[in-house]
Structure 1
């Protein structure tokens, strides 16, 4: 399968928390060679399960060791923890893992004495050690190594292939104990600090150099097929691939990828949001109902937030556009649903301008006196929110697009023309331009109905259409 599959960079990481080298058990006086246990049983079990094993002492990143350790415990898809010596480091690492991940952690221990009471409830795999008659060494026999390897491999495969099941006592005993959901941007930051290989991202970028979105999507799909089973691939790799499909508007491929994710990743808030977005854009029968269900589930668990309600607002906005085109009686309901979602999204965090600017556009589209008054009230709040992000001085596409839309709404054509080229330059993906263009087209139609001149607005729309063709 070529260079991509000749390396193990993309397999899911199974981080191993355990003592290193030879250590003495103070209860029995036995000396245990943990490196041998790792090499003879733990490492081959993980590899045969299709994962990439990694012990803390195998990191080659340099820098502060705790940074790397925290990153691995937070981000590794799977963890094996050897609790044999009641080693404080291992127990500390297990505690961190149990506090942030409800499942995918497998404890093991040598049966030289019972596990401490506080971890006695965890489902751990025990293994046997043989005492030497000539020394105090307690070693792993060939038979015991095979048994441990077999049992550990089975447990890991159950975690990979089976239904999601809590193995953290906190998540098992405390209903609705909150898992730590790291934003995608934070995981990328960690990846930089643990020196993640950039080859995969480079290959994704190369695939996106094709001339059309269709060709780009096909190239990305080939990369996905070469990766193999998504349940055994690193989370960060899968997320990069998902966002690459989004960037080339490969909505069918993006949706199918999300559906193939392991349970722990399907349940991540960021994935559910993006999955809903792709379902809405794909829009096969039942897609939008499923998208709304995904977003409703997110809000039920985490409460309202601008991103979730922004995507929900977009779904209803698309419903409105389609119903309006068909002259359906349901158009007004879809418009109200969209306005409500966007407005609630902005009010959930007024620092986030995205749902606010969409609410304003739709209120102008509705056009009655009450809606126009509400749009007028929201405009300075949204303007302040985007100004906090840099406004026209920002280098972020969405900041600049929002400034442009506000300028068009207020008919400040001098400022609109000034920010337009900078905004177009920051647009790297056609779907971004299409999203903003849709709002400007809606604004134009509303202004025509209200008797306003739209010549300047049409000139800006023309520049968008040219730029979309170039991408």
Structure 2
């Protein structure tokens, strides 16, 4: 290493990943940004993750070099990431010490990791609780201090094979690796880091610049594919989302292109709820665009899969709506079938209300605990406040929609007003009111079949 500073290489996934055992969706970028990188850098240690390495080609050589040469490796195994587990194994084989293993606390550990010390943290899914962040950072800081200059084996390979001699870490090895890098024609210090491309694309989505975001995600997919024989599900998922949102050259073709992207990541058999949920949305929009009942049937199946996997409000709200759609479609051939569809919709709305009642006090309590942080004037504090505002908006909007479907119009109006007065981007309100318009139009056709009979408010 030419840099005099010590260097930490962080082994973990990036972006939003799904833990296939629990079905939970975790934003790993927040784990890295708020739990790991600040602690490492506070020690004067350079901190880098694979997607931050500047490159314009394969980074396999650089990755192996980091696993061999880095003064410290922190491996986050959250979501049972197979690449992270593989890279941890390489590190344990190469270096007897200075490796720290962490994960979110609901990880089901493989048997072979039961004898490895794994520091746990609590992840909310799409956010990190401030108190939990401070607790974990303090513990990680102490652990770094304990291992960074200590020649004591933390690798099970060198613990059990205690006569094993590790590879020599010397300039000759580094020079050989550099030579391989040059031979492979991989300019490590040029181009854009994958993390920068992804972040720019996500920022463009926030700004509703979907065509530009699509181009960046296409670039990210190409770069990620250089280092793996398997497509990165998260990147393809985000590319599919940006693709259908462009509605270019027209909505139907963009939706069909989006479906092809989702099918390329094993849509028929995947247990990734985010992929399945997006497929449900795309198929729903194809049906709404007049492309036929087959899309409605498939949308219903996708939302059922994602709803029963995640048990969350978003999929519940959409599942109820497509059940009402079905009652008005050619798929329902009798009033008995139509009533069955409406019964399923009502059951789902009741479940949505339960989930709203469960989630609301949790977010209020966390927002209260984070009051000092959200008002400290920092970007992180602003992002946290926006997160809480969005959660409160959607809980109110979901309550309003569920009560509307159930005919509880007083509760519908109350929660609609709560959503309206809560700080939110205009697109959220437009999305909510658009969906309410669709639901009202459908219930006006078949509401008389519900028990009690559904009648639109005057």
**Structure index of larger Rg:** 1
TM-score normalised by structure 1 residue count: 0.43
Higher RCO (CA-CA < 8 Å; seq separation 6+): 2
